[in-house]
Chain A
Amino acid sequence: MALPATGSPRESTLEVLAFDDEFDPLAVDDLEIDQEWMDDDNPYDTVDFPTLRNMPETVHHEPVYSPERQGSATEALRALITRNPNRRPVLLNIVGLCEGGCASSVISEKVDEWQRDNRSVYAPMTFCRMLERAGALTLEMPVTTEEQEVAEEGITYLEIKETVDPIWHATEEALALREEYRAGTQFRRVVLEAEEFRYAEVYEAIMSALADGGRSVKDVEEMVKEFPICQSPRRFGQHFIDVLEDTDCAAWGGTAWNLTDLGAKMLAELQAQKEA
């Protein structure tokens, strides 16, 4: 490394590291930044780096699930719940809760309850916003909020008398799609009217066991082992649990898998079709 022609190396280093005594942080105006003051060799030392705040509207993303993108509210909601399978029951439950209107605070309380054994990083209102963008919910905001003035020891204070609690309403399309799911269309399509029906006796055994009380994955695995049809090609208990969960027939209850109301209805249908 070449040393400067004048002065000792120690002096030049000190000179480089020395702070400007004249620098006054209060005098710096962030809005008038002198580009020449910046370090040309440092690619990050620039005020031209674009921030999201200043990006044009065209750069902003459109909602992933919206009637505009999917063609209708029904299709947008269908896409939303298909791409978020673990949240499907909660999303459809919210739609059901909002039939005729439901306060945000009630939704928050219910969603927390529904997700007690299947937690999510999404806040209850984030689900509502997702459903709103998909055209499944509409928001009714109160026009005004109560406030009152109180005076104490000569000082006037403002108080919020009543907090805002907006109402969410489910749209017709969303309610219709929810009914479709509640009617067991998915189970019929995936199991009763498909190749999967060859495992009817396995489904019947598992669903009957779940109806008698919660079962762990290990219990289901032991049960499946007993069926010769599951030996080749090999089918494991988890496969049947996945199908039942995806069709809303089984739900995790914190310690075991349980049969849902829809599952009980579908079990009866399965038995009837098997006997026919």
Chain B
Amino acid sequence: MTETMTAAPEAVEEVDLVELMNKRAQGYGMLARLFREEVDMATLRELQGMRFPQATGNATVDEGYHQLFDYLKRAWDDSVTELAIDYVSTFIGHGVNGYSAAYPYESVYTSERRLLMQEARAEVLATLRENELKRGDWNEAEDHIALELEFMQRMALRCAEALADNAEDEAIAYVRTSYDFLENHLINWVPMLVTDMRLHARTLFYQGLGQLTLGTIQEDEAVLRELLDSVAEEPAAA
């Protein structure tokens, strides 16, 4: 059976798929970096050099971009410390009751007692192994949002590479893997994480990061679904 990725729906028509995949990878890479650790001066300067689209067509993404822009345009040297404090306050918190922060682990949001290292982590670990990836020397559970976003980035990069090599079947497989991962993991718990981020983040930066992440995965789900819908089965004879 041979499948061909065509540009049937209007939204993806005449889109350079390699470029689209590379842009997706860039977006996921940036989000993964911002969740992985505190913003340092180099990252702050890089973010301030970015361009922020005013109207993307997705209200959540727009709100995220506006909040980030509003924070970054007033950011200066001291903001690195302010963001480091807010990172701890948002993702680590002070309490032990399980409700003191927006814990960036899928297990917390998908287990009954909000515990780490639950079924979600085992599933993500299995997915990483299936795709010949491993955590490396970063000592966090595999279901940390930064790792999940980085997985999406890796899949997008692999897809772009496959498309550039005209390996369409391979590219379609990567799109399927990305879509399944998005459906089974990120879409499943990130909305709850972002709700908690709104409660715990004190800066517009982390408020905006939450909104941007939520909007990005919602938008990406739609894009991947359209791409998969466009995959048409060619007649066996052909």
Seen from chain A, the residues whose Cβ lies within 8 Å of a Cβ on chain B are 19-20, 23, 25-26, 28, 30, 33, 44-53, 104-105, 108, 123-126, 128-129, 145, 147, 149-150, 155-160, 163-166
**9 residue pairs A–B, Cβ–Cβ below 8 Å:** A28-B192, A47-B99, A51-B93, A51-B94, A53-B89, A125-B80, A157-B51, A157-B54, A163-B76
Contact in complex: B73, A145 (CB < 8 Å)? yes
Contact in complex: A163, B109 (CB < 8 Å)? no
List chain B residues, Cβ under 8 A from A159.
Answer: 51-52
| Cα–Cα, bound, A88→B63 (Å) | 45
Query: A166 is contacted by which of B54, B76, B99, B200 (Cβ under 8 Å)?
Result: B76
Residue of A nearest to B80 (CB): A123
Contact in complex: A164, B93 (CB < 8 Å)? no
| Cα–Cα, bound, A48→B199 (Å) | 17
Contact of B18 with A by CB under 8 A: no
List chain A residues, Cβ under 8 A from B54.
Answer: 149, 155-158
Known contacts: A46-B97, A104-B76. The answer to whether A156 contacts B53 by CB under 8 A is: yes
Residue of A nearest to B76 (CB): A164
List chain B residues, Cβ under 8 A from A165.
Answer: 76
List chain B residues, Cβ under 8 A from A47.
Answer: 97, 99
Among all A-B residue pairs, the 5 with the closest Cβ atoms: A157-B51, A125-B78, A51-B95, A156-B54, A158-B52
List chain A residues, Cβ under 8 A from B192.
Answer: 25-26, 28
What's the least CB distance linking B210 to chain A, in Å?
A: 15
Contact in complex: A164, B94 (CB < 8 Å)? no
List chain B residues, Cβ under 8 A from A155.
Answer: 53-55
| Cα–Cα, bound, A53→B88 (Å) | 12
Contact in complex: B94, A157 (CB < 8 Å)? no
What is the 8 Å Cβ interface bit string for chain B, positions 201-229, against chain A (1 contact, 0 not)? Answer: 00000000000000000000000000000
What's the least CB distance linking B237 to chain A, in Å?
A: 41
B69, B81, B95, B189 interface centre (most CB from chain A within 10 Å): B95
Residue of B nearest to A150 (CB): B51
What is the 8 Å Cβ interface bit string for chain B, positions 165-208, against chain A (1 contact, 0 not)? Answer: 00000000000000000000000110110011001100000000
List chain A residues, Cβ under 8 A from B93.
Answer: 51
Known contacts: A20-B112, A23-B112, A44-B97. The answer to whether A158 contacts B48 by CB under 8 A is: no
| Cα–Cα, bound, A65→B32 (Å) | 39
Known contacts: A47-B99, A166-B76. The answer to whether A123 contacts B81 by CB under 8 A is: yes
What is the 8 Å Cβ interface bit string for chain B, positions 45-86, against chain A (1 contact, 0 not)? Answer: 100110111110000000000000100111111101100000
List chain B residues, Cβ under 8 A from A149.
Answer: 54
Contact in complex: B73, A126 (CB < 8 Å)? no
Contact in complex: A145, B74 (CB < 8 Å)? yes
Contact in complex: B100, A51 (CB < 8 Å)? yes
List chain A residues, Cβ under 8 A from B112.
Answer: 19-20, 23
Contact in complex: A52, B75 (CB < 8 Å)? no
| Cα–Cα, bound, A150→B191 (Å) | 32
Contact of B110 with A by CB under 8 A: yes
List chain B residues, Cβ under 8 A from A23.
Answer: 112
Query: A125 is contacted by which of B53, B81, B109 (Cβ under 8 Å)?
Result: B81
Contact of B96 with A by CB under 8 A: yes
Residue of B nearest to A155 (CB): B53
What's the least CB distance linking A152 to chain B, in Å?
A: 8
Contact in complex: A129, B53 (CB < 8 Å)? no
Known contacts: A25-B189, A30-B196, A158-B54. The answer to whether A104 contacts B97 by CB under 8 A is: no
| Cα–Cα, bound, A261→B188 (Å) | 65
Known contacts: A25-B189, A164-B76. The answer to whether A156 contacts B97 by CB under 8 A is: no
Known contacts: A123-B81, A125-B78, A150-B51. The answer to whether A160 contacts B94 by CB under 8 A is: no
| Cα–Cα, bound, A52→B189 (Å) | 26
List chain B residues, Cβ under 8 A from A20.
Answer: 112
Contact in complex: B99, A33 (CB < 8 Å)? yes
Contact in complex: B96, A53 (CB < 8 Å)? no
| Cα–Cα, bound, A110→B75 (Å) | 20
| Cα–Cα, bound, A159→B199 (Å) | 28
What's the least CB distance linking A59 to chain B, in Å?
A: 12
